[in-house]
Amino acid sequence: MLVTVSALSPAPDACTAAVRNSINWGTATSAYQVEGGWDADGKSPSIWDTLAQSPGKIADNTTGDVACDMYNRWAEDIALMKQLGVKNYRLSVAWTRIIPAGVAGSAVNMAGVNWYRNLIKALLAAGIRPAVTMYHWDLPQVLQDEYGGFLSPKIQEDFLYYADTLFKHLGDIVDQWMTFNEVISICELGYQVDVFAPQANKGLGAKYTCGHNVLLAHAKTMQLYRTKYAAQKGRVSIALDGKWGYPKDPNNPADVAAAENFMVFQYAWMADPLYFGDYPAVMKETQGALLPKFTAEESKLLRATTIDFFSVNFYCGYYVWAPAPGSPKELTYDVGANTGGQFISPGIPSNAPWLFKTPDGLRLTLQWLAKRYNGPEFWITENGVSGPDEDWKPLPAVLDDVYRQDYYKTYLDNLCLAKSVDGVNVGNYYAWSWMDNFEWRDGFKKRFGIIYIDLKNNLARHPKGTAKWLSQHFFNINPVAPATLRAASVARQTPAAAAAVPKPAAAPSTVAVSSKGKGFSLPFSFALNKGSGFGLSVKFGPQGK
């Protein structure tokens, strides 16, 4: 369909052809948000199946049962990516398709494995290089039921078995991995409070315990890859999230210090252990017994398995100010506390209460991280925005997403400045998201896609103006797909092997959908929910959602 984009604006000034050519451009999705096929071919339920299928939990009463139906329509999606010149695609694998019973040593579901093999081989054949996230929030429900998911160290062994299975069955065609997506989202929103699945709501200590288990599961995965799978010669990282902290009053040293701590409590909480083998000093000093400790051996393992590139998901920044005198010490620098639990930002609001247009926040974040971690290679593995009014505007007007085009133009300008002026080593960039999809508790009410999904018309796909703009200035600029090697290795496989999809295995009887049926409550109440008319869009503190 013809897009009624008024006129595509030029590429951002700082994104000269030379800079654009030096970055691998792409787009991203995650399994639960796009696939559907929630119980197809032996898949077991994940904690998000459970949450979304519980009445009243999702803003528009949608679920991920069908989502964008990518499970059945992947060929069409890949063809559209190819048409737009996309050459890099970040996707995630659903653990529940691969190991339905969740636990280490249990059966591998080859129907699930082969679905991903076919998808990835088709991507490679289209000249699109995959980057695969192992865990984008869809924990097997059975592991949550058995031992509380990420609150138990048992998760480390089960995750390692899952990672081993992925390396074994997909490692010949995937050479770029991320273990986990957004530890703050997993641990703060899912375990500290009850915004995301599994809605544990167990307080700040639970967030830190969860993060500790994530870090150790990640480090063990890195070690496994560098030993058992060294011959695959791929690269592994973990996608970290955070918001930039603008000191509310840049002339007030207390606000400046608070903004610094705001960054430390987000990024350095994870990245200091990954680079230096321990949590940041300010966290250890203020969080007391809530923050777990690494043994000498764990610390050594972390230092020995530093990530191969630094993966950052970046959306926006908030004002940060000094905590009120007398605030409880362990909460003093908790991510929420320094923003007063509110989303106040110098940026232009979007239709999501947590998301503002703060383009220089991306450059400032990269500068901060590059300095602290001595200039690693950065990948922006998510960046994007939900478009105002896209949940109701009719076609084709809805495709004219001027707001989003401006978001990308200004953020990419800053990304290019970070590379060309500040010397930050930016390797890859992925726009979030390839298509409108199941936006967690907001369902389809918040649309982040560069492709519009028509919910009223069989989930038809329509490129928005941003897709055309990115295609023209970014996706299409690299003439040679960087995936040639892997594509060649795929081509060497026999067509029969590639096409063979074994009959689905029966789902194990131990796996059942459990409905926790809890209501949700938010630690901070404020009415910034502009879009959905559903009292939930506020996630928690500055992490939003």
**Binding region for ligand BGC (CB under 6 A) out of 82-90, 178-186, 269-277, 532-540:** 178-186
Is the C-alpha dihedral spanning 207, 212, 216, 222 positive or negative?
Answer: positive
Count of residues of this chain found to bind ligand BGC when the rule CB under 6 A is applied: 12
Dist. CA 49–CA 32, nearest whole Å:
8
Q: Are 331 and 337 in contact (CB under 8 A)?
A: yes
Angle between helices 360-372 and 402-420 (to 10 degrees): 30
- With binding defined as CB under 6 A, does residue 35 bind ligand BGC? no
Closer residue to ligand BGC in complex, CB, 313/351: 313
Distances (CA, A) of 54 to 62, 63, 94, 520, 529: 10, 9, 20, 12, 22
Which residues does residue 451 pair with via DSSP β-bridges, in sequence order?
A: 435, 463
Report the site for ligand BGC in 453-512 (rule: CB under 6 A).
none
Q: Are 76 and 451 in contact (CB under 8 A)?
A: no
Among 185, 237, 305, 339, binds ligand BGC (CB under 6 A): 185
**Binding region for ligand BGC (CB under 6 A) out of 63-71, 102-110, 177-185, 402-410:** 177-185
**Interface characters, 202-241, with ligand BGC (x: CB under 6 A):** ---------------------------------------x
Dist. CA 323–CA 136, nearest whole Å:
32
Shortest spacing between CB 1 and ligand BGC, in angstroms: 25
- With binding defined as CB under 6 A, does residue 390 bind ligand BGC? no
Dist. CA 513–CA 49, nearest whole Å:
8
Shortest spacing between CB 438 and ligand BGC, in angstroms: 8
- As given in the structure block, the two tokens for residue 460 are 């038809």
Among 24, 54, 192, 313, binds ligand BGC (CB under 6 A): 313
**Binding region for ligand BGC (CB under 6 A) out of 41-49, 179-187, 316-324, 529-537:** 179-187
Cis peptide before 433 (omega within 30 of 0): yes
**Residue 500 backbone dihedrals phi, psi, to 5 degrees:** -70, 115
Dist. CA 343–CA 347, nearest whole Å:
11
Closer residue to ligand BGC in complex, CB, 313/414: 313
Shortest spacing between CB 281 and ligand BGC, in angstroms: 28
**Binding region for ligand BGC (CB under 6 A) out of 181-189, 242-250, 417-425, 508-516:** 181-189
- With binding defined as CB under 6 A, does residue 318 bind ligand BGC? no
Dist. CA 196–CA 185, nearest whole Å:
8
- With binding defined as CB under 6 A, does residue 351 bind ligand BGC? no
- With binding defined as CB under 6 A, does residue 360 bind ligand BGC? no
Shortest spacing between CB 447 and ligand BGC, in angstroms: 10
Report the site for ligand BGC in 412-451 (rule: CB under 6 A).
432, 439, 448
For residue 20, the number of C-alpha atoms closer than 13 Å in the C-beta half-sphere is: 20
- With binding defined as CB under 6 A, does residue 382 bind ligand BGC? yes
Contacts of 99 (CB under 8 A, 6+ apart): 106, 107, 108, 109, 140, 161, 162, 165
Catalytic residues: 182, 382
- With binding defined as CB under 6 A, does residue 537 bind ligand BGC? no
Shortest spacing between CB 385 and ligand BGC, in angstroms: 9
- With binding defined as CB under 6 A, does residue 545 bind ligand BGC? yes
Report the site for ligand BGC in 266-295 (rule: CB under 6 A).
none
Closer residue to ligand BGC in complex, CB, 12/64: 64
Rg (CA), the chain: 22
Nearest to 24 by CA among 509, 481, 527, 510: 481
State the residues that interact with ligand BGC by CB under 6 A: 30, 33, 181-182, 185, 241, 313, 382, 432, 439, 448, 545
